Amino acid sequence: MKNVTFRTTFSEGVIPFSSLSTLFALFALLVCLTPFTIAGENLNPVSVTTRITPNTFTLGDIATYTITVQHDADIHPAAPDIPPKKGLEFVSKGENPPRTINGQTVHEYWYKLRVDDIGKLALPAIPVSFDAPDPKESGKTIQGTILAPEANLEVQSLLAIAGNPEGIHDIKPLEEIPPPWIHYLWTALGVLALLALFYFLWRKWKSRSISQFRSAAVPALTPEQLAYKELEALRTKGWLQIGRIQDHFFELSEIFRRYLENRYQFPAREWTTEEITAHFKHFPDLSENLKRQAQTILTQTDRVKFAKAEQTDGRDEMQSVTNFIKQAWPNQPVSASQVPNRS
């Protein structure tokens, strides 16, 4: 065995090689037991990581995007805002309770995103702002920013997962449909038919109303006799003398309308003056003079009935009604007893 000679300040001697190996082993053991720090394990004051869970996605799944900020105790980060991303719909966000690792504080900010597109989707690097103590001036803070790494996810199609079955096809493109002109035409014809039906029913009701009066039983007295009798009864009441002008003209209007109704067979008491005048325009049984007289009588009595107009010039339309009846039935003699006394 070869011998190695070491010189020391304490003594001189020869140390065998086996003893040298023992010393080297003790030195190695001493080095292993001594605590040391690797330069690459030095912790940064603030660091950011990102992750997306779960690992696989399909349409409609909820992805959880987490930003983890690990920092010294005197650094205070702020929750970052993520911009909207095509294919990912924002659902909710929150923050987990902070925890401590290796003497540093860890904050986790999570975001729930709904997947609505297929293929590869990427969330870009997001700036995370924080407040840190100012190394130049004690007691003050400065604002810093660190970028969260980009995160990626891949969304698979349900068709691809199922093996792309032949019975499922993509949606066909929209097809232009011309306006339904035929439908509009039939709708218009239906509306016209409905209006024609309403008009027919109205005319039928109108004609029925007139025919009911024409088919009514003939009264014991002729229309002229009944009118003269009612005019005489009105005269004996003397309402004009006691100031009941409105009552007088109201009953006089009823007598005249009842006479027109019985004589010419139309509902004169239900119709307005305008309707009666319009009816007389195409009425061959009356002369133009009698038509004007009837319109005047109806208008004057309406003025006093509804407008409460005063009797003008002491004129009483009773004589006008009597003259109309005489002229409207010239072929039949009227006895003097039938004509009401003018006094």
Would you place residue 2 in the very low, low, confident or very high pLDDT band (cuts 50, 70, 90)?
A: very low
> What's the mean pLDDT in 15-42?
50
Would you place residue 240 in the very low, low, confident or very high pLDDT band (cuts 50, 70, 90)?
A: confident
Q: Return the pLDDT at 5.
A: 36
Q: What percent of the chain has pLDDT over 90?
A: 27
Q: Is residue 239 part of a domain?
A: yes
- How many C-beta atoms surround the C-beta of residue 235 within 10 A? 18
> What's the mean pLDDT in 235-255?
90
More confident call, 300 vs 3: 300
Q: Is residue 117 part of a domain?
A: yes
Residues 258 and 290 occupy one common structural domain: yes
Residues 145 and 239 occupy one common structural domain: no
Residues 193 and 250 occupy one common structural domain: no
First-last CA distance in the chain: 180
Q: Return the pLDDT at 108.
A: 94
**Domain span holding position 29:** 4-33
Question: Residue 257: which of 265, 271, 248, 268 has the closest Cα?
Answer: 268
Q: Is residue 67 part of a domain?
A: yes
More confident call, 311 vs 178: 178
More confident call, 172 vs 219: 172
Residues 90 and 84 sit within 8 Å (Cβ to Cβ):
yes
pLDDT tens digits, 118-176:
888 888 998 999 999 988 888 888 889 999 899 888 888 776 665 555 556 667 788 78
Would you place residue 9 in the very low, low, confident or very high pLDDT band (cuts 50, 70, 90)?
A: very low
Q: Which tokens in the block code for residue 77?
A: 């980060």
Residues 27 and 74 occupy one common structural domain: no
- Number of folded domains that form the chain: 4
Residues 106 and 202 occupy one common structural domain: no
Q: Is residue 172 part of a domain?
A: no
The rounded mean pLDDT for the chain is: 79
Q: Which of 118-122, 319-323, 334-338 has the lowest mean pLDDT?
A: 334-338
Q: Is residue 168 part of a domain?
A: no
Cα-only R_g, the chain: 58
Q: d(Cα 68, Cα 310) in Å, to the nearest integer?
A: 100
pLDDT tens digits, 273-310:
999 999 888 888 788 898 899 899 998 888 887 765 55
Backbone phi, psi, residue 22, to 5°: -65, -40
Indicate if the pLDDT at residue 3 is higher than 60: no
Indicate if the pLDDT at residue 4 is higher than 90: no
Q: Return the pLDDT at 23.
A: 58
More confident call, 209 vs 80: 80
Residues 209 and 256 occupy one common structural domain: no
Q: Which of 1-10, 85-94, 208-217, 224-233 has the lowest mean pLDDT?
A: 1-10
Q: d(Cα 86, Cα 312) in Å, to the nearest integer?
A: 90
Residues 245 and 264 occupy one common structural domain: yes
Q: Is residue 292 part of a domain?
A: yes
Residues 142 and 240 occupy one common structural domain: no
Q: Is residue 166 part of a domain?
A: no
Reported pTM: 0.39
